[in-house]
Structure 1
């Protein structure tokens, strides 16, 4: 890089972080998660507004590869945090309603997504139709656990029974989405001509579980239960996640899969202070780097010329995404005895998307499953469905207070015949910001 390019890059980084803080604060003042403001800000500096003149001025093309590299590093750290935040105890203790919610909020939108893909094929003509159909099914089935956790914390719902059910279901949905996404990439053959290489993900995952995880546990617990987080320990975790991401990228899968896997195999250590310190340090780095990702993602979104056909497709995508999640979640929760209002609250929560959806869409774009127009429409869907969660929750809870027959206390929505105990170990309060962004 030349001296001028270095200076522009540093100035851009400062500008991006400052923009993220300002736009995020504006979003929170409007009752939205900060991540919504950051995503919208990234879109507005792209070609959607003024034909890309803002982006060309602030982010010259010769600097964008460096910004993309920093954005990818932020994604690796974010997916590491997502994997570490996944609590396997939720699989055992989430209860029947959470299990039914997972099934309803995943299968119904996925099936509707397959039908949506058939409609979209006529205009977009994907090279690999089966992979395209599976990917669209995944894209409309995503629930973003991190932004959902932040919404629950902001609304004071993270300690409620219903909030715990939503977090449990969202965490399992996240795991299912990334697993399915890896399978879709395997179906497309990844980025290699030797398609068989993507099958190496299976022995690699086994290696992480049987070899790396025990080594990490032995190393991280050396020094006794009162051991503090040190730079040396941190210097083991971050390179491990980067190496894992590099392996999955080399075998033809997206690097976010490797970072997520490494986060999953990280030992869940006691006491919780050690783990929280590790999460806090990692999230501090993502707070600096993720805003760069929002800019680079926004540079690929162009909503300025979608026209009538684009609006029609956006309407279809929104209808499938919202109806699939809402109907699937509501029906599943009602079948387990949850009240109509409680089921509606849970359905609105499961419609939350965010950075998780953006990452999945980026994978589809890089794999050639989405063209830029369809990518832009799905990004718009992610923003709209996430932004509507807060107002819906406000309306539903206010409605509950006005009705004499229903309690405003969300804990009272738990059916008496079911076990109300739900694990709270993965508290939303542990997230300093939405989707790992700056607070």
Structure 2
């Protein structure tokens, strides 16, 4: 029980908690006694908020594609005085005044940490390199709504006579006009369009707008007559300038010193992280003492920390989880709990004014952004989606409105109306943007970009994506197997994909153009240098261009597909997400890479191949299966430096694409060998139309002639061609089991959705649909083979 201080008559009584925590459930304390201790009360409040927020989101809102801030704000409103919180018994048990103060303090400190984390991920230098259109939109997105909102406010003041109201409406107009970069970055991430063309433009414009908003808010705060600054306006300006000087010329050099102390590829020491946290929280106290917002200090220090690895990434990795999944839900819910609909009673004039100001300001922002983007030749739908994104509202506005409410600049009624405007925009904007903008629309084209439609000796453009250094050797072996030369040149575009961490803006680097910029990304130097050396070894017939994309895993497919579209590639090669040991044990299994591969297969503007590297479990070379079936004169020499390649053919678009790639690999090479193994149904009908059968015959005709020694067109090497009659998937698996042991590389078509007798029964055992039934069977550990597998899907016609 809290102690009651006995005081003389005429004085007050205060309760001081005896213990922060309770003694335990075995001390026979009742639930009411337990909740008199601050710590268990806080823990129970957190559990209540998180449970209801997740329940509402997963059960009601997730399938609508709404962000989590909607469910968090709804939970706060439900627990607030307008609903459950209005029950006196519930309030006395769960949310007493004392417990609300503790909860508010935790949320405020957490929000300070959240603002610091957001600032760490921001790159101020990007503002200087922003394009003209993004800069113009960023400036207009703040000034246009502010000017128009102030004009509407002045007209309302003349018409409705609002001098009797205490609300600071010009300040409200300013806050509604701002363009908060963290909010826009969050919604773009939720919509998975962060690194799309629309996402990049929106982020650049929001960065400019946010910097302008911070400067404008600071100026208004200093000049506002109703703002009390303890040190005076001159002292306020002086101390603010001194703090910015400290951050730029003392704190930032110290951060670079910490980076210099960190070994390349190593982790930042914990003592440095802890020291920075102390300085960050101290900065909030210091800036508050000279009249600035307590959040100003952590925000400026966050901007002073170099984004990205190693320091920015280390801080983001440690703080992202707690800020995103603990602090943000707590802060948003508490802001929602302060929403009181009873404060709107008998406030009709105030409600009308608030609604008009919000609608006028947001309307001006939407119209100005829309007109500028349309003027810049952006499609109408994309322009409207861009305008809505620039008008997004979220946690930054919630924090600002809470601050204005606490300082008395806005009333309870205005706070409630503004909170509801945030809730409505958080619901409307994501749903509208999903309907208006589809990043895959640009990949829909009627131009065939596949290997089958290339001329035999034309340039083959291939995009290879790299996630880890382990992906490089097998990719290079695949290029080597193709024997690039002047007769069949290859343009290779290597894209190194890196997970976005420690920064808010996605980055795309061309290592030929941005050679000076590359020094900031030393972790990508190894990949580019390896392929540069490889090109020096093969100066004729091979050109290599290296790129690095730093973006969220869920939207990396945008980087791959956009680069493939820009470079007009015919084939994208992706590494498989899983690797196994020689005994079949899983070594790596990256689900994000698997999701990425599926997204590329669905959206790619050209053909796609998934390469499964099994070179580390490759068996001792044996005479190939096709070679045993063919005359000895038709096989390549056993001493050939080129890998033995097999192609499994059943029929269909994907198989013909895979066959064309296999033929191109050996065309014009004196040492390459290829075995084409065609699986024919014993039933005589392979499940294909007559037209498909004609196309298959034409594709195989050249190989059959080469096998028979009849002059196989452009194919000058020895080719093995075998037809195997199979009844069902079981017999197919027996054939593939023999083939998997004999070859170093097997090329197959994906054949997704094609039903044929040769694969009957295999779908029940399929583990990786992205590889197709045959590809999935070839990579199965049950086959006990060591051949790498390339699964090819021909370009899909998107509509």
> How would you bin the TM-score normalised by the shorter chain?
0.7 to 0.9
The SS at the match of 2:283 is helix
User: 1:33 is matched with which residue: 58, 67, 73?
Assistant: 67
Measured after TM superposition, the shift of residue 56 of structure 1 is 4.9
Residues 145-156 of structure 1: pairs in structure 2 closer than 5 A:
145-156=181-192
What secondary structure does 1:63 align onto?
helix
- Return the match for 1:5 from 10, 33, 37: 37
Change in Cα spacing, 1:184 to 1:365, as seen in structure 2 (3 Å) is: farther
Alignment partners' CA distance in 2, 1:327 and 1:428: 30
Aligned with 1:348: secondary structure?
helix
Residues 1:28 and 1:256: Cα distance change in structure 2 (over 3 Å): farther
Which structure: greater helix fraction? 1
What is the SS of the residue equivalent to 2:140?
A: helix
Which of 360, 364, 367 is the matching residue for 2:404?
A: 364
Q: Distance in 1 between matches of 2:70 and 2:180?
A: 13
* Corresponding residue for residue 21 of structure 1: 54
CA shift, 1:297, in A, is: 1.7
Distance 1:410 1:178 in 2: 38
**CA contact 2:307–2:313 (8 Å) conserved in 1:** no
Task: Single out whichever of 304-313 and 384-393 deviates more from structure 2.
Answer: 304-313
Match of 2:124 among 88, 93, 105: 88
Q: Is the contact made by 2:173 and 2:361 (CA closer than 8 Å) also made in structure 1?
A: no
Number of the residue aligned with 1:415? none
Q: CA deviation at 1:133?
A: 5.1
Report the Cα offset of residue 98 of structure 1: 1.0
Deviation at residue 356 of structure 1 after TM alignment? 1.1
Write out aligned runs for 1:15-414 (5 A). Answer: 15-25=48-58, 26-49=60-83, 52-53=86-87, 55-118=91-154, 119=156, 122-123=161-162, 125=164, 132=168, 134-188=170-224, 190-196=227-233, 197-199=235-237, 200-268=239-307, 272=309, 274-286=311-323, 287-307=325-345, 308-309=348-349, 311-397=351-437, 408-409=441-442
Displacement after TM superposition at 1:396 (Å)? 1.5
Q: Is the 8 A contact 1:147 1:353 kept in 2?
A: yes
2-side partners of 1:81 and 1:14: how far apart? 24
Structure having greater relative contact order (Cα 8 Å, sep ≥ 6): 1
User: Residues 371 and 117 (structure 1 numbering): CA distance in 2 closer, same or farther, change over 3 Å?
Assistant: farther
TM-score, scaled relative to structure 2: 0.48
Rounded Cα–Cα distance in structure 2 between residues aligned with 1:149 and 1:411: 27
Distance across 1 between alignment mates of 2:390 and 2:270: 37
Q: Which moved more, 1:329-338 or 1:71-80?
A: 329-338
Cα pair distance change 1:51/1:12, threshold 3 Å = closer
Deviations 1:60-86 (A, max 9, x none): 111111111101111111110121121
Deviation digits for residues 379-436 of structure 1, max 9, x if unmatched? 11122122211121122137xx9xxxxx823999xxxxxxxxxx733977399xxxxx
2:287–2:293 CA contact under 8 A, matched in 1: yes
Cα contact 1:80–1:259 (8 A) shared by 2: yes
Task: Tell whether the 8 Å contact from 1:186 to 1:198 is kept in structure 2 after alignment.
Answer: yes
User: How many angstroms does 1:349 deviate by?
Assistant: 0.9
TM-score (norm 1): 0.84
Q: Within 1, Cα distance between the matches of 2:246 and 2:311?
A: 25
How big is each residue's C-alpha offset from its partner over 1:219-267, in whole Å with a ceiling of 9 and x where there is no partner? 2331333231332222022222111111111111211111111111112
Give the counterpart of 2:552 among 416, 422, 429.
Answer: 429
Unaligned runs of 5+ in 1: 402-406, 413-422, 432-439
Separation (CA, whole Å) in 2 of partners of 1:362 and 1:274: 32
Cα–Cα, structure 1 residues 266 and 411, in superposed 2: closer, same or farther, change >3 Å?
Answer: farther
Question: Partners in 2 of 1:378 and 1:115 — Cα distance?
Answer: 19
Greater radius of gyration (CA): 2
Q: CA RMSD in A?
A: 2.9
Higher share in strand:
2
Deviation at residue 355 of structure 1 after TM alignment:
0.2
SS state of the match for residue 266, structure 2? Answer: coil
Asked if structure 2 preserves the Cα contact closer than 8 Å seen for 1:114 and 1:137, the reply is yes
Mark the CA change 1:173 to 1:126 in structure 2 (over 3 Å): closer, same or farther. farther
- Higher mean C-alpha deviation, range 309-318 or range 137-146: 309-318
Counterparts of 1:273 and 1:223, CA distance in 2: 8
The CA deviation at 1:116 is 4.2
Q: Describe the superposition over 1:183-228 as per-residue Cα deviations: whole angstroms up to 9, x where unpaired.
A: 3332347554443342221221112111111112212331333231
Compared with structure 1, are the counterparts of its residues 180 and 9 closer, same or farther at alpha carbon in structure 2 (3 Å cutoff)? same
Instruction: Summarize the Cα distance change of 1:89–1:202 in structure 2 as closer, same or farther, 3 Å threshold.
Output: closer
Mapped to 1, the partners of 2:553 and 2:273 lie a distance apart of 18
Which stretch of structure 1 is more off in the superposition, 180-189 or 99-108?
180-189
Q: What stretches of structure 2 of length at least 5 have no aligned partner?
A: 1-16, 20-35, 446-504, 509-549, 555-799
SS at match of 2:107: helix
User: For the residues of structure 2 that align with 1:45 and 1:410, how far apart are their CA atoms?
Assistant: 47
* 1:161 CA displacement: 1.4
